């Protein structure tokens, strides 16, 4: 849920698309998957903030870089939808593999 909220907030920021995205699609998907997984492991906001910081640090990314990625594709919601579909597919596939 927190991942959806984060993505929604980032989508609302919007801006013109630059020539090159600030990070690769796969990096965005990887960190969003990691953030979603982390959100399942926490029980309160303070724990979530700490876990989010750790996930981003492990990925070598900042929250600002995620925001910049979403801003880059603000005028291409189809691209962002495809990336979110990739996140959902990975989470679903991982859940199946764990069963």
The parent domain of residue 75 ranges over 22-98
Instruction: Give the mean model confidence (pLDDT) for residues 78-97.
Output: 95
Q: How confident is the model at residue 58 (pLDDT cuts 50, 70, 90)?
A: very high
Instruction: Tell me, yes or no, whether 7 lies in a domain.
Output: no
Residue that the structure tokens 């640090």 belong to:
57
**Of residues 66 and 17, more confidently modeled:** 66
Q: What is the pLDDT of residue 6?
A: 59
d(CA 19, CA 16): 10
Q: How confident is the model at residue 1 (pLDDT cuts 50, 70, 90)?
A: low
CB 38 within 8 A of CB 97: no
Instruction: Give the mean model confidence (pLDDT) for residues 34-58.
Output: 95
Percent of the chain with pLDDT over 70: 82
The total number of structural domains that make up the chain = 1
pTM (two decimals): 0.78
Residue that the structure tokens 């724990």 belong to:
47
Instruction: Tell me, yes or no, whether 27 lies in a domain.
Output: yes
Instruction: Tell me, yes or no, whether 28 lies in a domain.
Output: yes
Instruction: Tell me, yes or no, whether 43 lies in a domain.
Output: yes
Q: How confident is the model at residue 3 (pLDDT cuts 50, 70, 90)?
A: low
Percent of the chain with pLDDT over 90: 75
Counting beta carbons within 10 angstroms of the beta carbon of residue 32, is it exposed (0 to 12), middle (13 to 18) or buried (19 or more)?
Answer: buried
């Amino acid at each position: 849920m927190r991942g959806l909220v984060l993505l929604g907030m980032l989508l609302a920021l919007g801006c013109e698309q630059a020539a090159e995205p600030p990070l690769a699609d796969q990096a965005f998907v990887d960190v969003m998957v990691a953030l979603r997984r982390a959100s399942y492991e926490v029980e309160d906001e303070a724990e979530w903030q700490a876990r989010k910081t750790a996930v981003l640090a492990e990925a070598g990314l900042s929250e600002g870089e995620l925001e910049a990625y979403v801003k880059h594709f603000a005028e291409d919601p189809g691209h962002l939808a495809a990336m979110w579909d990739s996140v959902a597919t990975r989470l679903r596939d991982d859940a199946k593999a764990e069963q």
